[in-house]
Every structure is written in structure tokens, then in C-alpha cells.
Structure 1
Amino acid sequence: MGNLYSRAGSRFLWMKWVDAHGIERRASTETGDRAEAQALLDETERQEGERAPLGRQVGMTVRRFFEEIWLPQRKVLRPFAWQVDKGRLEQHFLPDFGDRVLSQLASDRAEVELLDWLLGLRSKLSKRDGKPLASRTVWNIASIVRVFFSDALERKKIARDPTEHWNAERHLPAKADKEQGWRQRAGFTLDQVVTLTTDRRIPEDRRVLYALRFLGGGLRPGEAANARWRDLDSARGPLWRLTIASAFNTLTRSEKSTKTGAELNVPVHPVLRAALEAWQAAGWQRFMGREPKPDDLLVPRQEGGQRRVTTSLLQFHADLEAVGYGLQRQYESRSTFRNLALLAGASEFHINAITHPRPQKASDFYTRLEMQWGAMCRAVECIDASAWGGRTVVEKSGGEGEAKEPASPLRVVTAPGYSLGTGRKKAPPSLTDGGALRVTPTGFEPMFST
């Protein structure tokens, strides 16, 4: 990048820049106005950039800006998403433009090159399966490249944003699932949920986890992994209340807000309540070797920490194979909960209040949890508890088939407050593929309106 400076004996500002051949040049701007002088310098550098041979190292390269400035900033701004953004740029953008001089991309010629690159994403093949990239992947890559150049412009490392005039609707493919129809085939029936929560071929702790996820409002893996005993309000009626205000992020090994930033208030289904009572009374201690405390996780790893989404996926697939079911995403717990309740006659408004409480329109801000709580409980109870037919989630303390004393109620009673909250959908490679699905986190700020 060039710069302006004052020169003894001259009433004008002078400028210094590097020409198209890499030679440093100096000249008077013939003006004392700094804004005019800067505009002249910017235009001079733009013209030199257009004349420079492609790839000539004159100034900061794209890769250097990425590594020294953009990525450290990204880690601060997007602590739970920067690794995904980094991967998209390293895999799809930097191989083509990493060695280019960043300032020289603010030219008409470079803008056309970037547009050609964007169009080329349509036919680029995935390293995973050798097929063209999914349309949502293309959109995500294009969006993070736009963010990259927007940040470079904000940092004054480039004179203009060469992606500013990209026409997303015209140049990017329509958003669609890579494997058509998989969403319609996904999800679990009520009988399958009963099996996943009671079949003794599945370890006890994972049966409790599946009860929590399929009957507890369809919690996402990170939300269920971070649920603690103190989050249960056993004094609430007509059903207990489970309040989820945070989730566990596997990549960063840290807690964060829920995906939408909203607080979830979930009525505890009768089958889930019975499972939690028995789990708290005896099962948790069998699994962990001690009694649970309020700050303990409901279903931890054996060493006491949160379950990792990647490990949970592998275990979920193993459990599906053990009971003879085809492989599916573990994220189908939410779709299953919603569809089972709606199929049984639950109000969609109240199911939405459980699974997606973040306000979406003006009228949502008038919804009051306490006034709707009874109806939310009835919506959850639409999932027929009699389908379990006396089958239990947690092992009976005296052995299967023997009489058992009623489990003592939870000793953890809280009264969490309520907040309406503040302000990637991607198909697996194949729903019948025996291999583990690749799990990546979501989260990037879209640069295109959709």
C-alpha cells in the first residue's frame, strides 16, 4: 500500500507507491488537501494494479491478510464459527487467490475474475463424494468470501469491494438439498422412539439421553449435552419444566447460547419424567459411581463432562444398527418430536412455543409463557405415553421383571425465569450409508438476503 507524506519546501502533499513492475515511485499530488491526495493515490494504485502481471508480489497478499489480520479478528467475532469459515476459505478460495496482492483485487479485471470463480463453484466437485458441491455449500462459500472482502475494505486494505455487486439470485444455484427427498423420509415413528428408549441392547445412559432428546422438545445434541439437574423445575405443574438456556460446543469445548439465542422452556413428558426420576434415584449413580448434585449434567460422559456431538453420532449409529434401524441424523430428534405431537392433534402454535420460541414476527412479542404453559403441557401429552406399555427407560434396581419401589421425586427444585429470547440444513451423504456422517458446526453471517 502506498502512502502520503509532506516534503520540505513543498506546499503540496507527495505520494509514494509501487508500480506494476515492482518499482517504488514518488510524485507530487499537486494538492494540499489530504482527501484529494488520497483519492489520487488510490486511483494511481488501482491503475498500476490493472497493469501488473497476475500474481506479482506487490504489497500484502490475500493469504497474508487472511492469516495475520482476518483470522485473528474472526476468532474474536465468531468464536464458535471461525473454524468452519477458515475451512471454507482455505479449501475453496485461497488456492485460487491466496497469492494475489489484496489491493490489486480492487480492479475491474479482478472483479470479473472473482465473478468467474463464483460461477465455477456450480461445477466444482466435492472431495468427499466426487459430486458437485451442494447448493447451500456454494451459498455458504460465497457468503464468507463476501464477508472477507467487506472486512478488508473496513480495514482499509483494499480500495473497494470487488464482490459488492454480485447478484446472488442470478449467479448462485437455488438452495436445495443435495439428496432430494431425504427430509420427507427422515424421522422416527412412535414405535421406533419407544424402542430407542427401552431396548436393552442400547446402554442405559443412552436410552435416557434419547428419552431426553425425543420427548424433551427435540433438544439439539449440544443442548441435551449441557442440560443439568438444576435446570429441572419439579414443582411446576401440570408437567415439570426443563429450562435450556445454553448448549455445549464440541469444537471449542465450551458452553454457548442455544442456536437461536432463545431460552427453551420444555414441559417434561410423563415418560421422560419417570425416566429422570429412576435415573436420578439409582441409574445416574450406577453410571457415575456417586449421587448426582444440582450442578451435574443430566446425562454426562462417564468422566462427568459434556457429551461430544461427534461421539454421540457414532454411538447413535451403533444403537440404530443394534436394533435394526437404518442410519439417520441425530438431529432428527426435533423433527420427530414435532411430527409425533402434531400428528396426535397438538396445537402447532404451542409446539412452536416449545421448539422455536424466538420471536419471528411482531405478534410473537405478546406471547406470555405462564399464560400458555398449561396448553404447552397438553401439547406434549399428545404423544401417547401408553405406547410404552409399561416398558421402562431405566433398569429396575432389583433386576428386570422384579418389583420395584416407586422412585423418589427429584430433590432439585428451581423456579427459572422466562425470557422470549433475543435476537445448515444439510443432508447426510446418504441415509443408508454405513459410514459416520461428517459433523460441522453452523453459524455464519449471511451476506446475501434470502
Structure 2
Amino acid sequence: MSEIRGYIRPRGRKLEAVLVLADGTKRPKATGFSVGEEEQAQRFLDVLLEELRGPAAAAPRPGALTFRAWGEAWIAERKKRGVISVANEEAQLTYHAFPDLGAIPLAELTRARMLEWVRSLPSRRTENTGELLSPRYVHHVAGTVKRLLQEAVDVDHIQVNPCTWRPKRDLPAKRDKKGGKRNQGGLEPGEVWQLIHDERIGEDRRVMYALDLLTGMRPGEVAARRWRDLDTTAEPLWRLHVGTAINSRNSTEKSTKTDVEKVVPVHPLLRELLRSWYAEGWRRFQGRDPTPDDLVVPRGGGGVRTNGHSNKRWKADTERLGLPPGRSHYETRATFRSLAIAGGAQRADLDLITHPSPREAKDVYTRLEKVWPALCRAVLAIELEAPSPATPGVTRNDTDGEVAGGIAVAPAAADPEMEKARRLAGLGLFTTSVLNVGAAGFEPATPAV
């Protein structure tokens, strides 16, 4: 890597250091100084650059492969292969490994030296905010370095991997940055109802939020769903096949986070939203009829929804509805599980929907007829009612990409199909027309509604 450069620039009332890497990538870092303290900020930058470049006295002997040289070659090879996590790995090595280990030849890295380094990680600070590294990020950095040196073993650069630390002894316990966040259980039932029925939210996003909140899928899995993934002939509930997710870094489709394929029952409320969306809403949104290969909830113009895009719209929509601050798009899975458990669903059944292991996912497919009623019962345990009184506000359908007059799907006072599905799921029975849809499923020319 050629020498890292840097400069100071104002950012509002604060001064920010900008590091320029060898490939021209710019990485900002907070200095903690304000406008008018340029001299102190420059000294901060000088010290930082000196640390990143490494001490001149530590130059390796000629011909020795250093940790930095191997790390750069490893990163370059992973970029060539298109490894999704390579940008994070490069940043972890650049800021938290190369400054201490970069000039050391691989053959001279000892277990004691690596143990000393990994134990120092919790006292390090982030390059952007200057805060201490979170426990989870410490584990990520340590894991990246361990993989790097294991591949050095695999290609015979070194004989053994010196990363022999013990996570429970030498690394901090994994904790969230905001303690207790995971125990809050997600959104309240009335908030869920608003997000999927309130016309102040665009119809496309109401469908997306229903998929988020009533299936337990991750946001990237929701964004990757296509109409062909929906089996409307399954009984007593429609079936959604989940085998891919959207990678937000490059907007491409990849396998799910855990590399498993899942099957998810479609809640009756979601079923009605999908029926309406397929029959009319999708056409209004995209200007044509949907095909089996089309995304269920694309962006305006047909593009994929990245997590960043969806998170921004979520924040704007929750503020528009007046929901309590801090409601996160990533709470939707916790919301799904909390609502189902509150309705009496078994955790084991929910795990097969949201967190199946590769072996469990395979077993679900091979024993689908036997486990499907139990999965349906878990989803049917979710009961939602409209909040009372109704939330006042403008009934404007703020749809992504266009403003159109969509319709709000309000359930009838009594849903006989839902009652029938509950009865059949409980008994494990199957009939030929539980949901009153065509056996061919969704067809662009003849919607299954």
C-alpha cells in the first residue's frame, strides 16, 4: 500500500480529518476539534497518519512477506472474487490491524504477540466517531485477522495460525450498543395495524411493511421476493418460499443470511393486501401488469429496495404516523415473534419460520405436509385490531415513485376464510378451495383474486 495521505476540512462547526487511501478511497474521521482549532486538528491528523503508516524503524528484512503485504494481497483477491464483506474487512485491517502488525513478517508473528493485540482491541476507538469499539465489532475484527492468517497457512506462507486466543477468555462478551433494545419486543399491535392500513403511507410500502411484520422475514429477504415465490394453492394458508435476499451493498440477489431456504405461511391480512396489490396496486405503481419474475415490492421504476432506502422510508412513515421515536425497521422480526407468542404460538414452530438451521430447513421441506399445519397455527396466532379511535390525518397515498390513489384494505368485521383456516390448521385438515383462489396461482393476465 502506498503512503496514506490526509487533510483537515470543516464539517459544520466541527473539523474532520479525511484519510485518502492508496486507491483514492476517502475515509472521514472525527477529530473532536471545532472550527478555529485547525492547529490542534492537524496535530491529531499527523499522529493518526504516523500510526497508520507504521514506524519506519520496524521495516522488515528484505524479501520477508509482512502482515500488511499479505493482507493487501488477501483483500485484492477477495475483491476479485466479489466477496460481499470485503469492504468491511479492508477497513478493519486498515484501522485496527495494519498499524500494529503491518510491518511484522508473517513468520515472526507469535501467539503471544497476537494475544496481546487482540486483548487491546476493546480499548481502541472507531475511525468515524472516536467511540470505543463495540464488543460485536471487536469480534468482527478478530475474526477477520484470524481468517487472514488461516489462509496464509493454507497457502504455505506460515506453518501454523498464531491466532489461538479463546473468545470467552480474551474477547468481551457480545453486547448491543444500546443495552436492552432486543428485549423491548418490537412494535405494539396498534402500531402494526397503522403501518399496514393507514392511507397516509404509500400502498407499496404498506405491502412491504405487512411482509416485514407478518412473516418474520429480514428486510433483504422481503426485498428479494418475486411473485413466483408465492404459492396460492397451498392450504390452509398461502405459502411463501424464501431462498434469497438482496445485498444492499451492490443491489444484487444472494442467498439468505444463514444460507437456508425457508417456507412461510401467509397471514390472512397479508393475503388480502397481496390480492389487492397484485390485482390493481402493482399496475398503478409500475404502469403494467406484474409477471412471475417481477419483485413483489420493487422501487419506483422497478429497481430493488436496499436496506438504506427502506430504512429512510420507514423512519419518515413512523414519524408521519406519530409513532414513538426509536422504532426501527430491524424490529419487525422481533415484532412478528412477539405477536405470535402473545397469541399462543409455540417457539419451536416460530423458529422453523424465522431461524431454522440448515438441517431444520431441510427437514421442513422433506416433511412439509406434516409440519405445515403447525407453522400455519403459529402465524394464525397473530391477531390485530384497528386502533380506536381512528388516527386522524390526510388520506394521501404517498407512493414511492409516484403519488396515486391507492386503496386501504380494511378487513371485514368477520373473516370466514380466516376462521376456516384457523380450524383447518388446528385439525391438520386440507380441502380443495380453502382460500378460493385459482389452482394456477397468480397469472399476469388473470389475477388470482
**Structures share a fold, TM > 0.5?**
yes
Q: Residue 69 of structure 2 corresponds to which residue in structure 1?
A: 64
Contact 2:185 2:338 in 1 (8 A): no
Q: What CA deviation, in whole Å up to 9, does each residue of 1:323-365 have, x standing for no partner?
A: 1221233221111111101101112222222222335679968
Q: 1:251 to 1:342 in 2, by over 3 A?
A: same
Cα deviation, residue 209, structure 1: 0.4
Contact 1:283 1:394 in 2 (8 A): no
Letter in 1 for 2:229: D
Secondary structure at the residue paired with 1:305? Answer: coil
Q: Name structure 2 gaps, 5 residues minimum.
A: 1-55, 398-403, 413-435, 443-449
Q: How far, CA to CA, are the matches of 2:438 and 2:94 in structure 1?
A: 50
Q: 1:131 to 1:71 in 2, by over 3 A?
A: closer
Q: 1:366 to 1:220 in 2, by over 3 A?
A: closer
Q: 1:154 to 1:363 in 2, by over 3 A?
A: closer
Q: Residue 11 of structure 1 corresponds to which residue in structure 2?
A: none
Q: What CA deviation, in whole Å up to 9, does each residue of 1:158-211 have, x standing for no partner?
A: 344332x32332221122222211112251111110011112222221111001
Q: Residue 43 of structure 1 corresponds to which residue in structure 2?
A: none
Q: How far, CA to CA, are the matches of 2:169 and 2:156 in structure 1?
A: 29
Contact 2:260 2:361 in 1 (8 A): no
Q: Residue 90 of structure 1 corresponds to which residue in structure 2?
A: 94
Cα deviation, residue 62, structure 1: 2.3
Q: Residue 369 of structure 1 corresponds to which residue in structure 2?
A: 368
Q: How far, CA to CA, are the matches of 2:123 and 2:157 in structure 1?
A: 31
Secondary structure at the residue paired with 1:209? Answer: helix
Letter in 2 for 1:267: P
For 1:11-90, list aligned pairs within 5 A.
54-58=58-62, 59-68=64-73, 70-75=74-79, 79-90=83-94
Contact 2:200 2:396 in 1 (8 A): no
Secondary structure at the residue paired with 2:241? Answer: strand
Cα deviation, residue 133, structure 1: 1.3
Q: What CA deviation, in whole Å up to 9, does each residue of 1:65-117 have, x standing for no partner?
A: 2223x124434777222222222212211222223333333xx5xx4333222
Contact 1:240 1:267 in 2 (8 A): yes
Q: Residue 384 of structure 1 corresponds to which residue in structure 2?
A: 383
Cα deviation, residue 304, structure 1: 0.9
Q: Residue 5 of structure 1 corresponds to which residue in structure 2?
A: none
Contact 1:246 1:255 in 2 (8 A): yes
Which of 315, 331, 355 lines up with 2:313 in the alignment? 315
For 1:134-283, list aligned pairs within 5 A.
134-163=134-163, 165-215=164-214, 217-283=215-281
Q: Is residue 99 from structure 1 mapped to residue 103 from structure 2 by the alignment?
A: yes
Secondary structure at the residue paired with 1:380? Answer: helix
Q: Mean Cα displacement is larger for which, 176-185 or 234-243?
A: 176-185
Q: How far, CA to CA, are the matches of 2:264 and 2:367 in structure 1?
A: 14
Q: Residue 29 of structure 1 corresponds to which residue in structure 2?
A: none
Contact 1:351 1:376 in 2 (8 A): yes
Q: How far, CA to CA, are the matches of 2:343 and 2:409 in structure 1?
A: 31
Secondary structure at the residue paired with 2:329? Answer: coil
Q: Residue 446 of structure 2 corresponds to which residue in structure 1?
A: none
Q: How far, CA to CA, are the matches of 2:117 and 2:340 in structure 1?
A: 46
Q: 1:71 to 1:413 in 2, by over 3 A?
A: same
Q: How far, CA to CA, are the matches of 1:292 and 1:186 in structure 2?
A: 35
Superposition CA RMSD, Å: 3.3
Secondary structure at the residue paired with 1:331? Answer: helix
Contact 1:123 1:133 in 2 (8 A): yes
Secondary structure at the residue paired with 2:97? Answer: helix
Q: How far, CA to CA, are the matches of 1:212 and 1:260 in structure 2?
A: 19
Secondary structure at the residue paired with 2:293? Answer: coil
Letter in 1 for 2:344: G
Q: How far, CA to CA, are the matches of 2:365 and 2:216 in structure 1?
A: 24
Give the TM-score normalised by structure 2: 0.70
**Which entry has the higher C-alpha Rg, 1 or 2?**
1
Give the TM-score normalised by structure 1: 0.70
Q: Name structure 1 gaps, 5 residues minimum.
A: 1-51, 415-450
Q: Residue 432 of structure 1 corresponds to which residue in structure 2?
A: none
Cα deviation, residue 254, structure 1: 1.7
Q: Is residue 413 from structure 1 mapped to residue 426 from structure 2 by the alignment?
A: no
Cα deviation, residue 214, structure 1: 0.6
Contact 2:199 2:396 in 1 (8 A): no
